[in-house]
Structure 1
Amino acid sequence: MRGASRGAGGGTGTDDRGRDGHVDIAQLRDFISVVEAGSLSTAAGRLHVSQPALSQRMTQLESRLGAQLLVRGPRGVRPTPTGTALYRDAQQLVRQFDRLARDVADHRDNVHGPVAVGLPTTVAAPLAPALFDWVKHHYPGIHLQLFESMSGYIHELLLAGRLDLAAVFREDDAPRAGEVPLYSEELYLVGQPDPPPPSDDEVALSDLHAVPLVTPGANSHLRALIDRTFAAAGLRPAVVGDVESLGTMLRIAAGGQACTILPLSVVAGRGEVRGLGVRRIVDPGLRRHVAVRTTTETYEPREAVVAVRRGVVEVTERLAAQGQWPGIR
Structure 2
Amino acid sequence: MELCEIKSFLAIADLGSISRAALRLGVPQPTLSRQISRLEQDLGAALLYRHGRGASLTDTGRQFREKVVPLIQDLERLRTEISARAGTDAGTVRLGIPQSVSRSIAASVAASFHRQCSPARLQLVEANSSTLAEWLADGEVDAAIFYEPHKAPHISVEPVFSEELFLITAAGPAQPAGPARIADIDPGRLILTTDGQGLRRSIEAAFDDAGRALDAAMEIDSIAAVKELIETEGFVGILPFGVVHREVEAGRLAARPILAGVPMTAELVVGTALSQPVTSATRQLLRIIGTEVSTFTARGILRGRARRMGTAAPTEERPARALHA
CA distance in 2, matches of 1:228, 1:324: 25
- Cα 1:279–1:258 change in 2 (3 A) is same
Tell me whether 1:122 sits opposite 2:100 in the alignment: yes
> Counterpart in 1 of 2:64?
none
Tell me whether 1:304 sits opposite 2:281 in the alignment: yes
Is contact 1:209-1:238 (8 Å) kept? no
Is contact 1:109-1:139 (8 Å) kept? no
The CA deviation at 1:301 is: 1.5
- Cα 1:212–1:156 change in 2 (3 A) is farther
The CA deviation at 1:217 is: 0.7
Match of 1:168 among 141, 146, 150: 146
Alignment of 1:160-309 (within 5 A): 160-170=138-148, 178-191=156-169, 199-208=176-185, 210-270=187-247, 274-284=251-261, 285-296=263-274, 300-309=277-286
Tell me whether 1:111 sits opposite 2:89 in the alignment: yes
Tell me how many residue pairs correspond in the alignment.
Answer: 215
Match of 1:137 among 88, 103, 115: 115
> Counterpart in 2 of 1:328?
304
The CA deviation at 1:271 is: 6.8
Is contact 2:130-2:198 (8 Å) kept? yes
CA distance in 2, matches of 1:210, 1:311: 39
Tell me whether 1:147 sits opposite 2:125 in the alignment: yes
Is contact 2:170-2:232 (8 Å) kept? no
> Counterpart in 2 of 1:156?
134
CA distance in 2, matches of 1:248, 1:314: 30
Deviations 1:130-188 (A, max 9, x none): 1122222221021110002333433332233211100011259xxx9722221111101
Q: Extract unaligned runs of 5+ from structure 1.
A: 1-107
- Cα 1:122–1:182 change in 2 (3 A) is same
CA distance in 1, matches of 2:147, 2:109: 19
Q: Extract unaligned runs of 5+ from structure 2.
A: 1-85, 306-325
Is contact 1:205-1:282 (8 Å) kept? yes
The CA deviation at 1:286 is: 1.3
Moved more, 125-134 or 213-222: 125-134
The CA deviation at 1:266 is: 1.1
CA distance in 1, matches of 2:182, 2:134: 30
CA distance in 1, matches of 2:248, 2:210: 35
- Cα 1:189–1:273 change in 2 (3 A) is farther
CA distance in 1, matches of 2:206, 2:147: 15
The CA deviation at 1:262 is: 0.2
CA distance in 1, matches of 2:209, 2:237: 19
SS of the equivalent of 1:290 reads: strand
SS of the equivalent of 1:282 reads: strand
- Cα 1:113–1:276 change in 2 (3 A) is same
CA distance in 1, matches of 2:277, 2:289: 17
- Cα 1:246–1:160 change in 2 (3 A) is same
Amino acid at match of 1:179: V
SS of the equivalent of 2:246 reads: coil
Q: Which has the higher contact order (CA 8 A, sep 6+)?
A: 1
Is contact 1:179-1:292 (8 Å) kept? yes
Q: Percent identity?
A: 21
- Cα 1:155–1:213 change in 2 (3 A) is farther
Is contact 1:254-1:273 (8 Å) kept? no
Is contact 1:170-1:289 (8 Å) kept? yes
For normalisation by structure 2, the TM-score amounts to 0.59
Amino acid at match of 1:247: A
Deviations 1:180-224 (A, max 9, x none): 22111110111259xx77x41211111125452111111201212
Deviations 1:270-325 (A, max 9, x none): 2797342321111243111211111226x75122222211221122223333x063
> Counterpart in 2 of 1:34?
none
Is contact 1:187-1:261 (8 Å) kept? yes
Amino acid at match of 1:256: E
Query: What is the aligned-residue RMSD (CA, Å)?
Result: 2.9
> Counterpart in 2 of 1:313?
290
For normalisation by structure 1, the TM-score amounts to 0.58
SS of the equivalent of 1:201 reads: coil
> Counterpart in 1 of 2:7?
none
- Cα 1:110–1:147 change in 2 (3 A) is same
- Cα 1:177–1:110 change in 2 (3 A) is closer
